[in-house]
Every structure is written in C-alpha cells, then in structure tokens.
Structure 1
Amino acid sequence: MNMHPSHVQSSPDREDAQDALDTLRKWAMSATPEEVADLDPAVARLLPGQEVSNYPALARAYPEEFEVDDAYRATMPDLQNGPTSLIRGARQQLQHVGISNFRLPVRFHRRDESDLTLESSVTGTVSLEAGKKGINMSRIMRSFYKHAEKTFSFEVIEAALDDYITDLDSIDARIQMRFSYPMKIRSLRSGLEGYQYYDFALELVETEGVRRKFMHLDYVYSSTCPCSLELSEHARRERGQLATPHSQRSVARISVELVGEDCLWFEDLIDLARRAVPTETQVMVKREDEQAFAELNAANPIFVEDAARLFCKELLADGRVGDFRVVASHQESLHSHDAVSILTEGPTFAAQSLDPKLFNTLFHVG
C-alpha cells in the first residue's frame, strides 16, 4: 500500500500577503482602467494618481457662487410630494404630522396694555390623507415666520394656521406655542418684589372646519398635608413634643378651552389659580416672609384631591372657560412617591388612557 503524506494548507502570513499585493499592483499597472474596474474598483486605490474611468470626478470644494434658478429647482427631486406608490407601511390617515420645538422670539400683549417679547417654542402639525406620501415641513415654519413680527394674539395664530393649511393642502391643523411668562410678585410682608416665571402654552386646533382655542398653565405651589398638620399639633398638645407637618413643592397643570368674546389674559388665569390655592411658591423672601409663608400654609392645608376641586370651583365660575382639565402632583417630602389627581370638565379632555409619562412632566426645575 502506498502512503501519501497529507498536505495541510496553512493560512497565509504577512509575507504571502505582501507578495500577492505586489503581484496585484504589477497587474494593475499594465491593465486598462476598465479591466481594473471589472475585477474590483477598489484595486484602483493601489495606483495613486490613477482613476477608474467609469467613476465620475466630483468637485470637493463648496460652490459658494452657485445660485439656484427656477429651471434648476424644477429638476430637484421632491419625495414627500411623490406618488402613492412611494408610501411605506399602511395607507392610513395621519392625524398629526409636522414639526416640534422650533423657536423664535414672539411679542405678546399683556393685560396692562404693554407688549413683551419672549422666546417661544412652536409645534405645528397638520393631518395627512391616506393617499399622500408626506408634507414639506419647512412650509409650516415659513407660514409662521410671515406673522412673526406681529404682536401675537389668537387672531394672528389663526392667520398663520390659515396659511399653512392652504400651503400644505390639509384639512385639520394645530399650532401650539410654549413660553415662560414673567410676572413681578410682591413678597408677603417685607415688600420686596421679584419675577415669577410661569410655563404657558397657547393652542389653536382646527378639526373638520371647527376651530378651538386652548390655554395651558403650570402653577407651582406649596402643599401642607392636613393629616400631618393635625398629627404634629397632637404631639405638641398631648406630649409637649415639637413636631412639624410635611409640605412639598407641588404643580398643577391647568388646561382650559377659551370660549366667548372676552379675553382671558395670562394674568387672569394666574390670579384664578392663586385664588383657588394661595400658597404659591415665593420669589423674594426675608425672615418675616418665611414666617408669613408658614402661617399661610397652616391656614391652607391641602390634599391633592382638595387642590383639584379648589381649582375646579374657580374655573367653573369663569364664563370665559369652557371645558377644562386639572392635573395635580404633590411631590411628597414624606413618601418616596408622589400624590396625584386629575379632574376634567366636559368631553374635550376626558380620556380612558393616560400618557405613561404625564406626571413625570409635572416638575418645576427652577
């Protein structure tokens, strides 16, 4: 029997790779660009200064002098206005599509007849019919900028909404503007003044030709637990033991639909909230103010259920307010969790399901 030794093929080492590279480079030097491209276009990288003939020579410098004319613009692709065949996924209507958090300075009119310019965050959306691919979102911004120099009111927001409904050929649309509104607040006893900043949002919604106006306010206050207050007093009275009730910074998000002809000013909604729950957090504080605030909290102990109902009472009494919602969060100093409540009036804000992170947004970060 003849025995033949087995040949085990070993992996090439660096020397083998170098030999192969030299061979490939020699071949590429004598081959045509087409032959190189046919083998593998990457081989051309072995030949500095040579180009593959079927690969375009592209300019790499930014053409600052280039100007776009109508003829050139007409050749540019516009996928969002493409045919229905370009739609990916189900051909369903979108209730909202647009842009969120584009910012610009906006001038607002105040209750005292003065104007105030504030940085505003704008969200603009439209509905999208099932047979349309998409929208040109920059048109929403362009529509809004047409009116950005005007003193804003709901009438001006309506004009902006009209423009981008027309520009985008949509049925339903929405604009929301968020901003932080400053008001000078006087301290309780010392007479000092400082600016309190209130998170507001204005919202204009058009659905099936019907327009509705909404205002949202985050009101920040102190809540002293009534149970803790009574237990503290019990310890003092029964055992001569000093004890303090727990209180905490709390936030109520008040959302209202505006109805009727009379204006509900930003200051009006703040005043309404303060009448309902007077323990608003303070700005400028001296010792006499801190003592006064302790007395004010003791005079107005409040559970989170109480807060929602107190705001509700004031809102029901204001003829400029239609449907509304109050979402309250007491960020407990006793517990490692928060106490929360929601109260709605009318069908507008009623919901069976809640945003899982709704209460996480009710934090005042200063």
Structure 2
Amino acid sequence: MNKHMREPMTPTREQAEDALRLLRSWAGDAAPEEVADLDPLLSRLVPGAVQSNYPALARAYPEDFAVDDSYRASMPDLQNGPSSLIRGAKAQIQHVGISNFRLPIRFHTRDNGDLTLETSVTGTVSLEAEKKGINMSRIMRTFYGYAEETFSFDVMIKALDAYITDLESFDARIQMRFSFPMKIESLRSGLSGYQYYDIALEVVERDGVRQKIVHLDYVYSSTCPCSLELSEHARQFRGQLATPHSQRSVARLSAVIAPDTPILWFEDLVELARSAVPTETQVMVKREDEQAFAELNAANPIFVEDAARLFTQALEADQRIGDFRVVASHQESLHSHDAVSVLTRGPTFESTSLDPRLFASLFHVG
C-alpha cells in the first residue's frame, strides 16, 4: 500500500495570532530565565519586560575615561587586518588618502616676506593589492609634523618621504591649494588692489620618479577678433554703432618644475601669464582705467586657440619649466556654450581622456 506524504499546512493569520497570544501569556508568567532558555527573542514579545539577555549599557558620556596601552591594544583595527578581509578585487590602488583637510600654512614670497594662507591639502599614497587599507589619520598627523615650517617644495618632499615611510607605501602624492594675493596697480588711475590667484602645488612620487608641479588659474578678458572686425565693418560701411563681444576667460597653467633650476616664484608664474595675455581682469577701476581696458582688449583680440599658443610660447621660453599643460576656457557672452582648448608638452600631462568636469572647474565667480 502506497503512503502519500501529506504536505505541511500553512497556518492562517488567525492561527498565528492565537499562537502569539499563547506565547505572550506564557512568557508573562514565566521567569526571565525560562523565557531566555526557550528563545531569547521571546522577551521582546512581552510589553514592558526587561530583556535579560541584553546588557545594561551606560548612556552618559564618560568624561573621566582614559585610554591606556592595554585598552588601545584591545581595540579592533580592520584597516590593518589580513587580506582575507578585502572586499572586491585584490587590486593595487594608485591613490588612497584624505582630500581637503585645511590648515593655515606659511609661504615665502619673492620679496622676502611671509604670508600665512588657509590651505587645502590632499594627501594620498598607493596601496598594495594584498593590503586591506591604510590608517587615514596618519595622513593628517604626518603632515601636521611639518605644518609650522615655512612651506616650499623642499618641505613638501620631506612630508612626502614621511608618508611613504609611515604608511609603508611605494608611491605618494601631496597637493596643496590656496588663494595667493598680489597687489596689482590699475592701468591709468594709480590705484591698486589685491588680486587673488588660485594656485596649487603638487609633489608626486611614482615608480621611483619624483616631480614637483605647480598649477595657476589666470583670469583674463578675451575679445573675439571676428566680432571686433564685424563691429568695425558695421561702423565703416553702414555708420552703425556696434560692439565686439568679450568675456571673462580662464587659463589653467600646469607646469613641472625642471630639476636644478632657480626658484619659480608664484609671482613669476603670474607675470609669465600676464606677459603672454595682458588683458587680465582688473581690481580697482576708475573711468580712465575702464577706457584703458577697452583699448587694451582692442589691441589684444584673442581666440581660445591663440590663448593656448601664447601661453605655450611663454612657458617654453622659461628654463625653469619642463612638461606643461594649458587649459583655456572662454566663457562666451555671444554663445550659450564656451570655447575651450587644451595644449600639452611632454608625457606628464598627456591624456586620452579628459575629466568630465575639467572645463566646469574653470569658472571663477566674484
């Protein structure tokens, strides 16, 4: 005789509610130990019941608690754990660290003065494929060991060496961003005011090769040569007043400092940019300065292609500069889009792909 296995019946909601009432009734009268012995989770079904299996935790912050070596040694440290804790591919990471920690840094100026400027620092190191992670706090702690010095590339190199040693890495990078003030005279009125230049310094160690890199954002006015000629055509042939379009424009100059050459001061790089494209935006302006600026723009009309080549000509002429890149953006007043150009020299800045936000990062607002 064949016996058929009876399929288990799924309880109805009504049966589940009856069972829940029965459990609550029993748990309400049973000792906490009995409830925990049956199933510790049952204590959660009894309203107001103390969960005997859940520890009573202190809720006040222990201000007098002090960490000693023994306690510190007992604390978990997942980032320095075995490679078995790695999630995802066991792959080398080129850069891992901290971006945009800020502190006041003292810089030396060309006229032998010192300036203390708020500086944003990014510090990263490489991570081998078999290592879980790095101790992020060491990035800041190591850098702070040099923060009281007057900064230069030499000091950055010392901090970079400390990164490689303290974090047991083979490659490392430090980037420092700040806004550098220079007093600029007006074109004709004799007034002067402070222009602020976005500058970044980088020291990079990669595959045993070390590079020092400086970046400058230079803001200028670009008058369209075509629009200038069309405006003059309207005046000459039709007696029609017309004005050429011009716009605020930005060039980001990035340059590798050539080894064993004199110091390239921040002021030197700004003046190099201004010598290439003299229509820098103004600070203090009276009517005579505004008129002078109109004349200066008319004397130096410039397409974005011209800008890239003029900056390149100036960079190539300076023996202190090795590889470089020029990224220019003319933020058009005629169009609803921008005119852009990129020109590089040397392998450092060669790239098949461009950062999708590269040109958007060139907008400078007042």
User: Distance between the aligned counterparts of 1:10 and 1:167, measured in 2?
Assistant: 63
Give the letter aligned to residue 215 of structure 2. H
TM-score (norm 2): 0.92
1:1-366 alignment to 2 at 5 Å? Answer: 26-37=25-36, 38-39=38-39, 41=41, 43-44=43-44, 46-48=46-48, 50-259=49-258, 260-366=260-366
User: Distance between the aligned counterparts of 2:198 and 2:160, measured in 1?
Assistant: 23
User: Distance between the aligned counterparts of 2:141 and 2:202, measured in 1?
Assistant: 19
Please give the secondary structure, in 1, of the residue aligned with 2:348. coil
Given that 1:327 and 1:341 are in contact with CA atoms closer than 8 Å, whether structure 2 keeps it comes out as: yes
User: Distance between the aligned counterparts of 2:100 and 2:33, measured in 1?
Assistant: 52
Given that 2:24 and 2:45 are in contact with CA atoms closer than 8 Å, whether structure 1 keeps it comes out as: no
Distance 1:270 1:82, change over 3 A: same
TM-score (norm 1): 0.92
Distance 1:270 1:42, change over 3 A: farther
Distance 1:221 1:336, change over 3 A: same
Given that 1:36 and 1:44 are in contact with CA atoms closer than 8 Å, whether structure 2 keeps it comes out as: no
Q: CA offset at residue 11 of structure 1?
A: 8.0
Identity %: 75
Unaligned runs of 5+ in 1: 1-8
Given that 1:106 and 1:152 are in contact with CA atoms closer than 8 Å, whether structure 2 keeps it comes out as: yes
User: Distance between the aligned counterparts of 2:333 and 2:44, measured in 1?
Assistant: 70
How many corresponding residue pairs? 353
Distance 1:28 1:73, change over 3 A: same
For each residue in 1:306-345, what CA deviation from the matched residue of structure 2 results, as whole angstroms up to 9, or x when unmatched?
Answer: 0000000100000000000000000000001100000001
Partner of 2:8: none
Please give the secondary structure, in 2, of the residue aligned with 1:227. helix
Give the letter aligned to residue 111 of structure 1. R
User: Distance between the aligned counterparts of 2:106 and 2:45, measured in 1?
Assistant: 59
Please give the secondary structure, in 2, of the residue aligned with 1:148. coil
Give the letter aligned to residue 114 of structure 1. G
User: Distance between the aligned counterparts of 1:356 and 1:99, measured in 2?
Assistant: 22
For each residue in 1:17-61, what CA deviation from the matched residue of structure 2 results, as whole angstroms up to 9, or x when unmatched?
Answer: 8x999876553331222444445637447443x422221111111
User: Distance between the aligned counterparts of 1:189 and 1:36, measured in 2?
Assistant: 91
